[in-house]
Amino acid sequence: MRIAALNVSPGHNYFGHHGREPGAHAIEEVATVECLAGRGLRGDRFLDYKPNYGGQVTFFAEEVHRELRRRPDTPPHPAHAYRRNVLTRGADLGALIGREFTVQGVRFQGVAECRPCAWMDRAVKPGTEAWLRGQGGLRARVLSDGWLRVDCPTAAALLLAGGRARRLGRDKATLPWGRSTLGEHQAGTLARTGCWPLWLACRAEQPWTPAGFRRFEDPPDQGGVIEVLTRALSCSPVPVLAVLAVDLPGVTPTALAANVDRARERGLSVVPRVGGQNQPLAAAWHRSALPALHAAAARGDSLQVVCRQLVEQGLLEEPEPPAHDAARMIANLNTPEDLVRWHSLLAEASGAGSGGLV
């Protein structure tokens, strides 16, 4: 079992609030937490709640959260929205009910499913309670003292939409796309990877901000995408950053999430290589790339140069996507002719009953 995040809260928002408004106690994401045998987690609202309480600590699978995020019309939300303590990766939590198990040297007793309540429909969207039944997580007792730490932290995401699109002649984010706009389509691609927080890199005069995203405005004198990427990686609360340009609509959530997972597990950047060129604007960047990015900004180097340097340093992997994915990955929108071609592809996909492009 890997730990993707640890959450504690000083008070209850939903527990015991039936018939009343939810509480306003924030979740605090921590890098480590102390487990106290028979008591719970230090700093959490269930610490010493009652003797032998079965929910001294709660576990929730990151895989379930990501699956819910991929469902249609699910609004972007963080994994701590469910108010579980330990976000796990690679564990069958249901199989631990009624069993003792050990995580990072700390012993626990699996008690029961952490059944979702009606509040989930409000915290996420209507229907979430029903969807989570049977996979709401694990309630457990703490059997030994010790510490848990995050060893596979979650990833953040950055949508690059600040370009001036001079050849196209209009803001790319506002282009009609399917039933919405190109910006909303790309924001949805990032949201469905399960990353959080979600950031939008844009110019101050651009009014559009997708739901769930925080604006990351380019300063008037900003020096290009390298400086934007450097700033985002520097202030990210987690080491991996999924990056997607607004004009690369062929990138799928599945492909991007796979690169994010690889970056998280290996602790390096993962930038696909297509046609002899790296694709740094549809990639997973790791904080270890910051020295090379800072140096490139000072010298005026390109991201292609940065990628080559990081490969030499063993800090970047460059997987080659399958041919059908690769062609779509590098098909961007720079001219009116590009837009016509993409709308033709959209029409063909719609006529074939395929949602692969949208």
For the stretch 67-82, pLDDT in tens is 999 988 899 999 999 9
Give how far Cα 80 sits from Cα of 124, 177, 197, 348, Å. 11, 32, 11, 40
pLDDT (average), residues 199-221:
86
Tens of pLDDT along 130-154? 999 999 999 999 999 999 999 999 9
Instruction: pLDDT band for 353, please (50, 70, 90 cuts).
Output: very low
Neighbours of 47 (CB within 10 A): 18
pLDDT tens-digit series, residues 308-320: 999 999 999 999 9
Going 23 to 25 to 31 to 33, the CA torsion angle's sign is negative
pLDDT at 168 over 60: no
The predicted structure's pLDDT at residue 355: 41
222 vs 66: which has the higher pLDDT: 66
Mean pLDDT check: name the lowest of 34-43, 133-142, 158-167.
158-167
CA 71 to chain centre: 15
CA nearest neighbour of 280 among 308, 304, 314: 304
Domain edges within the chain: 2-149, 155-351
Residue 236 token pair: 């990210």
Burial 94-109 (b: 16+ CB within 10 A, else e): eebeeeebebeebbbb
pTM: 0.87
C-alpha closest to that of 36 among 163, 198, 147, 169: 147
Which CATH code of 2.40.33.20, 3.30.450.70, 1.10.20.60, 1.10.4190.10 fits the domain covering 2-149?
2.40.33.20
For tokens 């029903």, name the residue: 130
Whole-angstrom CA distances from 228 to 238, 239, 290, 295, 334 are 17, 16, 12, 14, 20
Count the alpha carbons within 13 Å of 26 in the hemisphere toward its beta carbon.
Answer: 3
- What pLDDT, on a 0 to 100 scale, did the predictor assign at position 328? 66
| Distance of alpha carbon 230 from alpha carbon 228, whole angstroms | 5
Mean pLDDT of 319-338: 70
pLDDT score at 317: 97
CA torsion sign, 165 to 169 to 171 to 175? negative
Domain range 155-351, CATH class? alpha beta
In which band, very low, low, confident or very high, does the pLDDT at 52 lie, cut at 50, 70 and 90? Answer: very high
Who contacts 4 (Cβ-Cβ below 8 Å, separation ≥6)? 62, 79, 87, 88, 89, 150, 152, 153, 154
Q: Which of 9-13, 21-25, 269-273 has the lowest mean pLDDT?
A: 21-25
